[in-house]
Structure 1
Amino acid sequence: MSAVRVLLVDDQELMRQGLRKLLEIEEGIEVVGEAADGVAALAVVAEVRPDVALVDARMPRMDGVELITRLTVEHPSVAAIVLSTFDEDDYIFGALRGGAAGYLLKDCSPDELVTAIRQASRGETVLSNPVAARLVADLRREPVGGGAFPGQELLSARELDVARMVAAGAANREIAARLFITEGTVKNHVSSMLRKLGLRDRTQLALRLTGR
């Protein structure tokens, strides 16, 4: 199995060097490039061909949110993970809405970071616990009962029921119990909705319903 190729994007050279030393000792992970901001990252991404980009949120010239939005459109095969000290809503929701595969805080452990890189390379969404808690709390405050959203007409009535519960932060087991269906049926509905709406995962589905 080939190594996960990682691009480091951070305006602090010390941080990039530390991340490189941390990741280079991990089997199955290869650091293929570095960039000090989003502009520099876009200039090298085609050459180094990363599987995962570790991106700081706040950088000069082009910040992490704008970079991730550009990567999603121009290099969709690259899974971008924000690695930042900032946990403000604008960064979290902006990055996820832009297509980020994850959002980690820089106080995460080395093991958490390595696991997140491997998960993101497999197409999974990764969120640090504080970010996940913030996301769920925010979604539960949103009025998701009946507001229209782009693509709503593509979904069946049952899919809309499931979608609104996903947006409220409910897990598959909770959705199944409330709607008197099996967890497998919930998973099928979620997969169908993601396909119809062109979304990657249930996090993006929740963001679509709440207008984030």
Structure 2
Amino acid sequence: MKKPGLLRPVDAASVVVIDRSEDRFRVLVGKRSSKHVFMPDLYVFPGGRRDRHDSRIAVSAPLHPAATARLLLRTPARTNQATLRGIGVAALRELHEEAGLTIGTDVSDQPGMLSFRPDLSGLRFFARAVTPPGQPRRFDTRFFALFADEAGIDPTAATDSHELLDLRWIDIFEQFGVEMPFITVKVLEELKGCLQKDPSLPFGVQAAFFLTRRGQIVRDTL
């Protein structure tokens, strides 16, 4: 088994669902189980690692071309469209598994890996973060924003799971009132800045990139 400092980050995705009703912006977070090795008992967005089969799952609509172009920046040469599609699928698969929200076309009557075909068209890529060396798990996480109304999400339909507990909607322009990892707070700050510049969150906006240099977490851009 590799030492934590030598672990190679694996692809992961997280989705920040935004409820912009009632003239405010709320995002969905949940508490990770105490049984998790990585970030236990902290509030995070739904998300997780990209599984190998995610790249083979059929989708009902692809990522927006501008989001795809931004995702490709500073990625290994081997990264292809299937990999990027798999990252988007991972975001919506995890949202389904962890919060009970389905974004896509129901195919539960057909054999397959998922009971729905994910609709990736509403995913806006706005941040990326690589877990620093030394952690028990390391991820190269892409963060996507998704407007609840555009995706047909009923905010009251979110349900707890064994992976995310105490799901709640928090106003990002007020005190959060929950304990979150450092990177989750930084990503929320980025989202606030994007919304202040343009509340519509245009596809392909410049994305923040958090990585470690000389032992310090720094912010770069994509």
Q: Calculate the TM-score normalised by the size of structure 1.
A: 0.27
Q: Calculate the TM-score normalised by the size of structure 2.
A: 0.27
Higher relative contact order (Cα pairs below 8 Å, separated by 6+ residues): 2
Rg larger in structure = 1
